[in-house]
Amino acid sequence: MKFGFAIPHLQVRAVALLAAAFLVGLAASGAARADETAAAENRRCLQCHGQPQIAELGPDDRAVMVAPMPEGFRPAAPIPRLRPGLHVDAEALRPSVHAALRCTDCHAEAVDLPHRRFLGEPTCSGACHDPAQSGYLRSAHAAAKARGMPDAPTCATCHGGHDVRAVGSREARTHPLNAVRICADCHQQHAAQTAETADTAGHIQAYLDSVHGQALTRSGLVIAATCADCHGHHEVLPSGNPAARTHRAQVPGTCGKCHLGIVEVFRDSVHGQRLEEGGGLAPVCTDCHAAHRITHASIQSAQLDIVAECGECHDRPELSGGRRASFYDTYRASYHGQVNELGSTRAARCSDCHGAHDILPIADENSRLHGEHRVETCRTCHEGANASFAQFDPHADYRDRERYPLLHGVWWYFIIMMSAAFGFFGLHSLLWFTRSLIERARFGPAPRFVANPHGIRRFTTMNRVNHALIIVTFFGLTLTGIPLLFSDQEWAKHLARVLGGVSAVGVWHRVFAVLLIGNFMLHFWGLARSARRHQGSILRTWLLGPNSMMPRRKDFADCAAMFRWFVRGGKKPAFDRWTYWEKFDYWAEIGGTLIIGGSGLLLWFPIFFSRFLPGWIFNVAMIVHGYEALLAMGFIFTIHFFNAHLRLEKFPVDDVIFTGQLPEEEFRHERGEEYARLAQSGELDALREAPAPGWQRFLAVGVGATAMAIGLTLVTLIILAGLQAL
């Protein structure tokens, strides 16, 4: 026989619930008693520290409130007169996460009252915050405190003292919208105390101005990176420590916590691969984007900085693949680099061709510059680019004979031509100036002729219009083109800004180029009209006759005679219609226009010309266009200005090209052979005309003086830039 009874299932659950309720009630009762005990103990402390007057008591008054110190005790530091921190506002404790704790949980030395006069700092270690405390003890902050730095951060510095709030709370000092202010206030205040922290003030302002700082302070985005996101919360370590989040090897991982997609691309790039292999020169995020002054990649300043950021590494010889110049140097010398240097964001930068985070070796089939990808990359800026266009080398170096023999040869051609032209005519001008000084000392100033009662017509209206257009187009092309040639010079950048910026300069350069071509065509139209008027005598008049612009035997004889006059003095040779230096100027202008105009059109319309010309022709065109322009500028602003205006016989301005005439006595003096021929043939009378009005002379002096001032200033700046480069 069995004794017992059955308990229904619902009754079991009821009993279990009653038991659980009993236990919960028991625990709550215990917690309540614990809270009451904590509150009672805290009231003991607040009887003194809760009184606002305690912050205003002097050292002697405070001394009677605590246990006396042993006889002979000497404090380690001077005792402050007032201690505002001794006052604890009970209301500040209520919302704190530590509201249920006893004061003695943190201030263990104050268990026995009255406590000692000098207590140790409260500790956050132990069972509560052991991991955080361990991290802090390994940090740079703890190291600063160990060195005796009085203001080194502690737990309370960042989390607060008696008003510690939950980490996720908006009121918490560690909330993203508040934390930056905590870090900034401390580092700004103590920035100049040691060499180690001397630059932190700049870091703070850089961060506040950065895209991260602006997103946080202006947009209120709590997901924006704060100091703790990059440097860590408790275990803040110097960037030189391999364990630091800001150590080079750790930077991609640190940035990747927010920019995950970007860091995944970066790790597959040539930079990421070399970093993974332990390459010390491999760049990380902060090398290109900076650490604190990170700006948005789309703004102009950031785009202009890209080249300089790449140049920090790629200006090193060891990264140039054995080339004569670094990739950074060759880029800056290219059209892309020159325009970028002048402030344009339209020209291709390093990242436009090579990529930003996805940079790969060109041999890699996924590289933007591999095979057909190169054409696609060019098309991002140059719509319609083809395979021929893509043959253009943006890093071509005309001084590198082994890699670019053709470009090197073209460069040497201009070096020889410029040396010959400036060497010969430079000596010519120097000897002429010296002989003029000697003649002036011996015979007095050169005679000044006046068109009275008439002048001799020397240039037609068409000639004068052509020359006026040459002045306008030449100076227009010079002022809008020279900033590009010397884009690394501050004066060139300032000139570009004065002219409206690099984009406006480019537009005006093309406008003046069209005017130059138009004037060139106008000149030959005038020659054609003249040919019709002299039918049957073109060969005799233009090619073989005394009025011919073609070099003749007499020109060589006149040149030799001039050099004899330079050396010996005596009488100058009798010149005909055109002197040998005027013929040189004419053909140099014709040839220079063809060379500069032709190369300029190639560079202006590269897509069109790439349909039937190889892409390397544009590399040649860049050398030709730049050096021919430099030759023209240098020659006009020195040799031509001297021959026409600055020699003592003509100074300050020879106005014949402006007025179209010169006095008859001056004509007889300077063009003796032509004068005698015209007088003998009876053609001289037809050339006599009324003197030019005075305003034309005034205008000629003003225009000539202005042109020479601009020209000589530019020549001086060019010479100084050349000396600086050397």
Residues 6+ apart with CB under 8 A from 674: 546, 575, 576, 577, 667
pLDDT for position 126? 64
Q: Which helix (H) or strand (E) holds 15?
A: helix 9-49
Sheet holding 688-689, edge to edge: 661-663, 455-457, 688-689
pLDDT at 138 over 60: yes
The number of beta carbons lying within 10 Å of the beta carbon of residue 622 is 22
Q: Which helix (H) or strand (E) holds 456?
A: strand 455-457
pLDDT at 146 over 90: no
3 state DSSP class of 67: strand
Q: What is the pLDDT of residues 622-651, one digit of tens each?
A: 999 999 999 999 999 999 999 999 999 999
pLDDT for position 5? 36
Q: Which of 142, 272, 282, 289 is nearest to 207 (CA)?
A: 289
569: left (phi over 0), alpha (psi -120 to 50) or beta: left
pLDDT for position 31? 44
pTM for this model (two decimals): 0.79
440: left (phi over 0), alpha (psi -120 to 50) or beta: alpha
For 198-202, the CB contacts below 8 A with 24+ separation are 202/292
The answer to whether the beta carbons of residues 276 and 267 sit under 8 Å apart is: yes
Q: What are the C-alpha distances in Å from 488 to residues 29, 141, 499, 627? A: 80, 44, 17, 17
Q: What is the pLDDT of residues 309-357, one digit of tens each?
A: 899 889 987 888 888 899 999 999 999 999 999 998 888 999 999 999 9
Q: What distance in Å separates the CA atoms of residue 501 and residue 506, rounded to the nearest whole number? A: 9
Q: What average pLDDT score do residues 534-551 get?
A: 73
The answer to whether the beta carbons of residues 401 and 324 sit under 8 Å apart is: no
* Confidence category of residue 190, pLDDT binned at 50, 70, 90: low
pLDDT for position 21? 40
pLDDT at 16 over 70: no
- CA dihedral (629, 633, 634, 636) in degrees, to 10, reads 130
Q: What's the mean pLDDT when you consider all of the chain?
A: 87
